[in-house]
Amino acid sequence: MKKTTFIAALLALAACASGAWAQDPAAGYPNRPIRFVVPYPPGALTDVLARVIGDRLGTALKQPVVVENRAGAGTLIGADLVAKAPADGYTLLMATSTTLGISPAIYSKPQVDPVKDFAAVSMVGAVNFFLVTSPRLGVKTVAELVDLVKKNPGKFNYASSGSGSPHHLFMEVFKKETGIDVQHVPYKGSALAVLDIIAGKPEMMFLDFSVAVPNIQAGKITALGTSAAVQSVLMPNVQPVARSLPGFDWQAWQGVVTTAGTPKAIVAKLNAEMQRFQNTPEFKEQLVKFGMEPWAPNTPEQFAEIVKTDVGRWAGVVKSAGLKVD
């Protein structure tokens, strides 16, 4: 073969390879470390979950996944960082229903648009909440609680882990749908709130699994129902609130998103690798230990639809509760 012919053949092969590369942006992805932004402080459930996911995802992709905590502004500081990152799949966000549902509705001028600024990768799991009361209240069911409060309007209070938290907004929905009159008492965290629930004042709250279950099992608080309409796999003996209040169905979910505009092939690759370990018994057991309900296998499109639906639902609840931060 003549030298010129040989060179021409090499150039042709290079052109073909270059064309294939251009058609499949995921072919060389990832070739450097991935940044995984957590909009919560170190040690929070979301942070711990992100580190577990980051380790597994890094092993699967053969590149380090570096967790970076960026808390503040109702988790919107971290979200804004990811929204403005290059759309190349090298910056991920450990997103929650607070980040992509509640906070954008509460802030008058949120930095991010939860639908337009992110590309959904995979839903991971959800936290079921328990409607709990002090045993001193003497009620065992949702119906008994509603009846007691209606007979004594303005007498009872409910606790939350803070204004604008799922604990707060779940109860605002419950109030509206049952017509009860109870006043909000915000705390700095559910661990502090439950101590006063045990003491009998405030009398009730929606409490997250990790704090609720040990106290329920110890008989310190009474569980009347779960916030999700489906039976909890973690405490199947507690019935959903929806059994007494049809249509009541609320959970705080967690999932992974990246910057909007990221090539679909890269998003699909991330989703495929996540689904591979999400479906293992070991990972599901880990979620249960965190007090989370594992989510069924889902596509980026299915997760995106959940986000879109939740944005509308939370906006309605926030408006009804009269919450706004300038």
Query: Tell me, what's the pLDDT at 20?
Result: 46
Q: For residue 283, what is the domain's CATH number?
A: 3.40.190.150
Angle at 129 between CA 220 and CA 299, to 5 degrees: 150
124: number of CA atoms within 13 Å, CB side?
31
Q: Half-sphere exposure (CA, 13 Å, Cβ side) for 296?
A: 2
Residue 51 lies in a domain: yes
Backbone angles phi, psi at 118, to 5 degrees: -135, 155
209 and 291 inside one domain:
no
Residues 206 and 293 in one domain: no
Mean pLDDT of 306-317: 92
Asked if the model's pLDDT at residue 8 lies above 80, the reply is no
Judge whether 9 lies within some domain: no
pLDDT class of 110 with cuts at 50, 70, 90: confident
* Number of residues written out for the chain: 326
Is residue 17 over pLDDT 80?
A: no
Residue 6 pLDDT more than 60?
no
Are 88 and 109 members of one domain? yes
CA distance 219 to 290: 21
Same domain for 228 and 138, yes or no, is yes
Residues 230 and 306 reside in one and the same domain: no
Contact 142, 206 (CB under 8 A): no
In a domain, 8, yes or no: no
Residues 176 and 153 in one domain: yes
185 inside domain: yes
Q: Report the percent of the chain where pLDDT is more than 90.
A: 72
Residue 301 within a domain: yes
Pairing of strands 91-96, 34-38: parallel
pLDDT band at 50 (very low <50, low <70, confident <90, very high): very high
The share of the chain scoring above pLDDT 70, in percent, equals 93
Count up the domains in the chain and report the number.
2
Q: Could you give the C-alpha distances from 91 to 31, 50, 175, 198, in angstroms and in order?
A: 13, 13, 40, 43
**Whether 117 and 263 share a structural domain:** yes
Task: Give 5's pLDDT tier (boundaries 50, 70, 90).
Answer: low
Q: Mean pLDDT across the stretch 205-215?
A: 90
pLDDT at 112: 94
Q: Is the pLDDT of residue 186 over 70?
A: yes
234: number of Cβ within 10 Å: 18
**Range list of H helices, 74-123:** 76-83, 97, 103-106
- Strand pairing partners for 126? 253, 293
Q: Is the pLDDT of residue 305 over 60?
A: yes
Rounded-to-integer distance, Cα 28 and Cα 34, Å: 14
Report yes or no on 1 lying in a domain: no
Give the pLDDT of residue 7: 52
191 in Cβ contact with 265 (< 8 Å): no
Examine the domain organization and report whether 139 and 223 are in the same domain.
Answer: yes
Same domain, 234 and 275: no
pLDDT band at 324 (very low <50, low <70, confident <90, very high): confident
203 shares its domain with 218: yes
pLDDT at 297 over 90: no
Which CATH number do you get for residue 222?
A: 3.40.190.10
With beta carbons less than 8 A apart as the criterion, state whether 108 and 178 touch.
no
pLDDT mean over 150-166? 92
Domain boundary among 190, 212, 243: 243
Q: Mark which of 243, 272, 292 sits at the end of a domain.
A: 243
Counting beta carbons within 10 angstroms of the beta carbon of residue 43, is it exposed (0 to 12), middle (13 to 18) or buried (19 or more)? exposed
pLDDT higher than 50, residue 308: yes
| Residue 138, domain extent | 129-243
Count other C-beta atoms under 10 Å from residue 115's C-beta: 15
Q: Are residues 153 and 223 in the same domain?
A: yes
H or E element in which residue 260 lies: none
- Compute how many other C-beta atoms are within 10 angstroms of the C-beta atom of residue 142: 21
Mean pLDDT in residue range 191-218: 92
Q: What is the CA radius of gyration of the chain?
A: 23
Q: Are residues 114 and 262 in the same domain?
A: yes
Which tens digit of pLDDT belongs to each residue from 220-264?
999 999 999 988 877 888 999 999 999 999 999 999 999 999 999
Backbone angles phi, psi at 97, to 5 degrees: -65, -25
Per-residue confidence (pLDDT) for residue 23, from 0 to 100: 63
Instruction: Examine the fold and report which residue of 243, 273, 302 is the final residue of a domain before the chain moves on.
Output: 243
